[in-house]
C-alpha cells in the first residue's frame, strides 16, 4: 500500500525555495557577516535532501539533472582558476582583486574575486554532500 504524503510533498515544494534562497543569502553575506561558501553549500544540499525525502531519488534527479561528481570537479576548477589567475597577472598565487562598481539596480557594490573562490567551495560542498547521500541512498 502506498502512503499518501501529499502534505509533506506540498510543504517541501514551498520550503525548498525558502531554504535555497536562504542558502544564497548566506553565501553572499559571507564576506561581512557569518556565512560563506561552506555553510551555503551545506544548506543548499539540505534543501535538495528535503526534496529527496519528500519524493524519491529518481524524481529528484529528473528535476535537477546534475552529475554531482562533475559539479565537484567544476567547483575545484573554479576555485583553482581563481587562485591561479593572479599568477598570470604576475602576482603571487592566491592574490585577490576587488573594486567598487556602480551596478544598475544595486547601486554602489564591492565585487571581490574571493566570491568566485567561494563559489568554487560552494559547488564542491554541494557536489560532495549530494554524491555521498545519493550513492548511499541508491545502494541496495
Q: Does 39 bind other proteins (CB under 8 A)?
A: no
Q: How far is the CB of 124 from other proteins (least distance, A)?
A: 10
Q: Which of 8, 24, 42, 76 binds other proteins (CB under 8 A)?
A: 76
CA atoms within 13 A on the CB side of 86: 15
Q: Does 92 bind other proteins (CB under 8 A)?
A: yes
In terms of CB distance, is 80 or 137 closer to other proteins?
Answer: 80
For residue 103, the Cα-to-chain-centroid distance in whole angstroms is 24
Q: Does 98 bind other proteins (CB under 8 A)?
A: no
In terms of CB distance, is 25 or 96 closer to other proteins?
Answer: 96
**Cell numbers representing residue 123 in the block:** 559547488
Residues that bind other proteins (CB under 8 A): 69-70, 72-73, 76-77, 80, 84, 87, 91-96
Amino acid at each position: 500500500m502506498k502512503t499518501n504524503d501529499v502534505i509533506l510533498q506540498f510543504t517541501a515544494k514551498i520550503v525548498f525555495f525558502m531554504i535555497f534562497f536562504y542558502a544564497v543569502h548566506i553565501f553572499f553575506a559571507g564576506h561581512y557577516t557569518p556565512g560563506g561558501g561552506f555553510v551555503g553549500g551545506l544548506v543548499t544540499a539540505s534543501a535538495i535532501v528535503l526534496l529527496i525525502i519528500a519524493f524519491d531519488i529518481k524524481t529528484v534527479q529528473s528535476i535537477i539533472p546534475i552529475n554531482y561528481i562533475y559539479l565537484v570537479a567544476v567547483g575545484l576548477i573554479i576555485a583553482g582558476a581563481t587562485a591561479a589567475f593572479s599568477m598570470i597577472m604576475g602576482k603571487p598565487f592566491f592574490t585577490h582583486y576587488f573594486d567598487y562598481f556602480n551596478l544598475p539596480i544595486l547601486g554602489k557594490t564591492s565585487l571581490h574575486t574571493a566570491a568566485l573562490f567561494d563559489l568554487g567551495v560552494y559547488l564542491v560542498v554541494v557536489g560532495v554532500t549530494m554524491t555521498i547521500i545519493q550513492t548511499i541512498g541508491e545502494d541496495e
